[in-house]
A and B are shown apart, each in its own frame.
Chain A
Amino acid sequence: MRNFVLISVLMWCAMVVNATDCDYLMHAQPDSLTRYRVQLQARNATLDGVLAVKIVDGNINGVVINDFGIKAFAFIISHDRKKVKLQDVMPMLNHWYVKRVLKSDLKLLFNITDCDKQPKGKKTQIEILDDGSIKMTNTKYHIEYLFTKAQVIETQESGREGEEIELEYEITE
């Protein structure tokens, strides 16, 4: 009888733990882009720009573009958030050692939940700032990332550029 009660209590506890919803801090949606301001600071490089993510075919597809709209790199994170694939990495970042660190940091970033008290990586510190930004520091390679969800400002579409102008610009070889 005592064993039955003990097992019941343990099962109840397990159910309570499972029922606690942990939400990923980095969100993505299937029907629209989620944008974050991103600042990446390494020893000799600073990258400021936008991280845009969207769920496509069940995976999280993302792209980091710099302030002028030029792509720094793109990535695909598997639906279970366990695999990261980098692609279209700009030449200045396209080195195996840079890509290895980027992949590992992206995997960590997309696996942080609001239940995590401690970072999951051994050499990475994660801090949630007062404004909700996520600061991630790779202490081994001295890389600092800051992700801030972009506050979207609604503006009226100007509609200046129509199809007619687009057609005029078609080039015929």
Chain B
Amino acid sequence: MRKSSPEESRAMITKINSSAASIRSITCSFTQEKSVSMLNDKMVSRGKMCYSSAGKLHWEYISPYSYVLVINNNQVTMKSGAKTNTVDINSNKLFQAIARIMVSSVTGKSINKSNDFDVTMYCYNQYWCAHLVPKEANMKKMFKFIRLYYNSNQTMVNRVEMVEKNGDKTVIRLNDIVTNKPINDAQFRVN
């Protein structure tokens, strides 16, 4: 990928922002790959996700184990096997910070957060990449950079790379992305 010119970058960001603003919902499957240098290993998980612009998120792992996390009305509910646990997102700064990074990354809204990140755009044919370097102190301590990859035809994020200070990397690939399809509200409830 090559670094985009300032004009190209502006055009790309405008197109991405306009697409992100029109998103009311996203449904997709995902593959999450975590490389941890001190384990000399990769952890691969698969699952599915639903997002609604009302701030609701359903994040479900299907393999290697079953686990559901739902954010709805400032409540985070986690279900593992028969166990369900609900916490108030406002009383949990740790979770709040992480959820904010994730949601703004998968929806592509991180590139709008100029107070949080320095953004550089890259391109290669129909592939675009936003290279985000954190500015905020805590984010800087956690991440060297975050990269959001887009397919310019969809202007939707299809891959998120989060590289930590020590080089450990989390790659989330979003597949079978469907936008603005009505999502049954039951998806955002855990039974």
Binding site for B on A (CB under 8 A): 32-33, 35, 37, 39, 44-48, 50, 52, 54, 56, 61-63, 65-71, 74, 76, 87-88, 90-94, 131, 148, 150-155, 158, 160-161, 168-173
Contact = CB atoms under 8 A, between A and B. Distances in A.
Contacts of A148: 80-81
B10 interface: no
B65 A68 contact: no
Contact of A48 (B78, B165, B175): B78
Contact of B142 (A33, A44, A91): A91
B93 A168 contact: no
Given A37-B80, A56-B38, A155-B46, A172 B2 contact: yes
B183 interface: no
Interface residues of B, number: 59
A61 to B, nearest CB: 5
B162 A91 contact: no
Interface in B28-42: 31-32, 34, 36, 38-41
A71 to B, nearest CB: 6
Interface of B: 1-3, 31-32, 34, 36, 38-41, 43, 45-46, 59, 62-67, 69, 78, 80-81, 85, 87, 91-95, 97-99, 101-102, 122, 124-125, 127, 129, 131, 137-138, 141-142, 147, 149, 159, 162, 164-166, 168, 170, 172-173, 175
B67 A37 contact: yes
Contact of A52 (B32, B39, B173): B39
15 contacts: A44-B92, A45-B94, A45-B95, A46-B95, A65-B34, A69-B43, A69-B170, A71-B164, A76-B38, A88-B165, A91-B137, A91-B142, A148-B81, A153-B64, A161-B31
A171 B78 contact: no
Given A56-B39, A169-B127, A169-B149, 12 more contacts: A37-B65, A45-B93, A45-B95, A66-B95, A68-B98, A69-B162, A74-B36, A74-B38, A88-B165, A148-B81, A153-B62, A171-B122
Contacts, number: 146
Contacts of A90: 94, 141-142
A56 B85 CA distance: 33
Contacts of B63: 152-155
A69 B172 contact: yes
B93 A44 contact: yes
A67 B141 contact: no
Contact of B59 (A67, A74, A92, A155): A67
